Structure 1
Amino acid sequence: MTATTATRRPLELFGVDGLLTEDERDIQATVRRFADDRLRPEVGDWFESATLPRELAKEFGALGVLGMHLEGYGCAGTNAVSYGLACAELEAADSGFRSFVSVQGSLSMFSIHRFGSEEQKQEWLPRLAAGEAIGCFGLTEPDFGSNPAGMRTTARRDGGDWILNGTKMWITNGGIADVATVWARTDEGIRGFVVPTGTPGFTAHDIHKKLSLRASVTSELVLEDVRLPDSARLPHATSLGAPLACLNEARFGIVFGALGAARDCVETALDYATSRVQFDRPIAGFQLTQQKLADMTLELGKGFLLALHLGRLKDAGQIRPEQVSLGKLNNVREAIAIARECRTILGGSGITLEYPVLRHANNLESVLTYEGTSEMHSLVIGQALTGLAAFRG
């Protein structure tokens, strides 16, 4: 195959478009155009300055991607595969964009949609879907990441009210959020609360000097005697299983999203390798470079086929948590390996923000550990295989 007839879209080798419906392809194309026109031209500057413009929330809302897989309350009600494809296109621009949409839709909105009262849904979901309000999800604590059951944040009854005290850490959107879903320990077990961020005693402190997910707001939440009425409690969240169900929703988006970053890296490396001349020929003409490109394309395609299969299972109502762990573990692990390998093809050019590959690699370092570390997902899979829990040594 000569360079003039070569494909620069590696997933074409797998015939993936034929596996999607027309609606799914249309949604994917719409989000890709938005990413190309609005996000890519600015993302290098946003990454370098560690900013995420708040006005993007309304633009994401107008695009229809906030809570797009939820039904009613201004949500688009798409299928899971369409949501996954949107995540992939957003993360192909930057993981920070997919993280924003994922936290807004699959954590903040999903927690209210699945476990909230009708009043909570009516108050928050239409505004969150439109991007007129921004949500965050307060589960992780400074000393309890992989083990949320050990959380120290408490909620105690005081008459008809609740008093919340505690600290949450690594909270995406925290510093710009209008509402937080906060999980706390009570005498009855783990419960969730819908907390407007203007409530007295609630403060958010942004985390600075990040080397990853710089085009994203990451914060610490501090709750000091935050008083809430009982109507703020999520009435259908009665155990730790509730926040874990929310995390499973978010992980599903990552299964697709990480592949978007990987695809962008491979396509960038292909373009670079076919134009960069060394020893009087494009470096794409050397066997070692082609070996790298072939291996990366194989892993990218296998990851996409896995993601699509999991999406079909989810749409059929048949997906299990350990299957989401399979997808998250494999696809993020392979995506970060692809990003690093693509950097080697770009050589010195690969370390600049002129090209996206090292930015993607840095971002994927965060994706590798949030929503469950690789080690935790390995243990989830191990428990599914053996019936033995190995989470404690």
Structure 2
Amino acid sequence: MWTLVLNSGSSSLKFALIDPASGETHLSGLAERLGAEAASLRLDSGGKRQTHALHGGSYAEAMRLVLNELDTLGLRSEVWAIGHRVVHGGSRFSSPASITPEVLDAIRECVPLAPLHNPASIAGIEAAMNAFPGLPQVAVFDTSFHQTLPEVAYRYAVPEEWFRQHGVRRYGFHGISHAFVAGEAARMLDRPLADLNLITAHLGNGCSVCAVSAGRSVDTSMGLTPLEGLVMGTRSGNVDPGLHDYLARVSGLTLTQITAALNRESGFLALSGLTNDMRELEEAAARGHVGARLAADIFVYRLAQGIASMAVALGRVDGLVFTGGIGENSATVRAATLARLPFLGLKLDESANSAAVRGQGGPISAPDSLPALVVNTNEEWMIARETAEILTKVAG
């Protein structure tokens, strides 16, 4: 039996039909630019790719075409459940949840905490409910893995009323990925996850590090929103909180405009003046582009700082894991990061690092080093596994 995994973005719908036990993917695809005239749907199955124009189609239209493809493949009756990635579950959800009207209302209540993400998740859930009436559906939250953070890690030093009445605290994100790669790293190291203290670095257009002790998140770099922490593709990462007031006074920008710029016009893009893509930055830096070199250097510097801070949370570090588009593909970033962390006992094996390309992964550290690994993340498989687990518990 197959689980259909849905990841709904603000104008996109990523999906995959996965066997929860093996991770085998039979069908996958991406609907992009939903609501625009250029909206399209890409379907990948059996090594073949199809692209369909949606012409302003919605999540519901994308789901209709996915249903058609499932019917064509004779797999519609084989779908036993649907798992949804939901970015923000607030403080309520520390594990996946079967979707009920009450759970859907709780996801709506978290919209102020994730105004760009949760409305898209709701739209995807509603489209799936209409397309698959009566089929069990599960919400898997990016924040739930971090609900094990101790109070010293999740509290901000702000007025108590903000925390009690408005939920102002650190939540963390990328939890699905951090949980998956921690488990895979334990398997690669041939050690029980319960015995390991790991630092996981999810590096893509969005970036975060996490301290994982015995399979539980005990600290992470993102906070109330995904803006806190490391420098990212278009996000600034940490800045002085006084920046908003200062810019509002001297530039006339509104708080909303400043926040939008910190999310969409900052990071690699702002520092380089060129791109938010690390591959392009590395190529430009090699050609002598000053802004590209600055962006790459600042990224690595802040990343090394973030990794070192996670060591404080763990006390003892048993391994460092790189994952995500940059973490899996950039040997340059990995090498430069390890070069800044010799005090953690990290030493690079240059040949292993060069060989650890996406789809392969593996150890990149020298024999006498603290283990450093590249682990290919698979959030869709993790969502399928957690969906199967929660429904099995409910049935049991």
Bin of the TM-score, shorter chain as denominator length: under 0.3
Q: Determine which structure has greater relative contact order: mean sequence separation of CA pairs < 8 Å that are 6+ residues apart, divided by chain length.
A: 1
Q: Which has the higher strand share?
A: 2
Higher-helix-fraction structure: 1
TM-score (norm 1): 0.23
When normalised by structure 2's length, the TM-score is: 0.22
